[in-house]
Amino acid sequence: MFPPKVVLLLVILSAPLTWGQRNKKPPPQNPIDKIQSVTNFDINKFAGKWYLLSVASECNYLKTNNHRVEATLIKASASKTYQGVEVLSISTFRELDGICWEIKHAYETKKIKGRFILKAKGYLGQVDVVLAETDYQNYAILYYQRRNKITLKLYGRKTTATNDIYRKFDDHATKQGIELEYIYPFPAYGFCETADRFHILNGNIL
């Protein structure tokens, strides 16, 4: 049996730890974890060409430069890493200073279908992506989160969509607290579909 002084010391040393464990707060929930991903996501059905129709974001760059946005399209395909992880490979085509660029990204799938990780380079850090809604034939609504800030993007199989689809997108943005004035339409003409080998970027950059 320990001497009384030793017992008292053990109690004193253990008390703060016990109190801390009992009152330890759970970590705050990641905002994008609250977004429901599309059920039974089929990566092969999603493959193909998509036009960027609208972006909902409160980022300062778009607030001051939304009049300078360029027509943008993506081409999606399914692939796998060397470790066997399923990847949604995305090539983004857009014009910059009159030159067509292709930017390649790799969206690594997570355990829950319709959720991805975009391991962006440099200051962008990791981007969490959720495909929230799609019918594969007409539209897709994606959420992107970096540093707890969420941006929504509306893609279409054509360069425009029905009013119902635009309203769906508006509803998604409103639920995130993004006001309608921060939903920016993208051009429906002037798309690039190819880029020469000198204007291809291999990197996960939004």
Spatial distance between the Cα atoms of 52 and 191, rounded to a whole number of angstroms: 10
Non-local CB neighbours of 164 within 8 Å, separated by 6+ positions: none
Q: Which fold has domain 31-202?
A: Lipocalin (2.40.128)
Burial class (CB in 10 A: 0-12, 13-18, 19+), 72: buried
- Place 107 in a pLDDT band, splitting at 50, 70 and 90: very high
Q: What is the pLDDT of residues 140-199, one digit of tens each?
A: 999 999 888 999 999 999 999 999 999 999 999 999 999 999 999 999 999 999 999 899
Domain range annotation of the chain: 31-202
Q: What is the pLDDT of residues 25-77, one digit of tens each?
A: 655 678 898 999 999 999 999 999 999 999 999 999 899 999 889 999 999 99
pTM of the model: 0.82
Assigned token pair, 111: 């355990």
Spatial distance between the Cα atoms of 74 and 189, rounded to a whole number of angstroms: 14
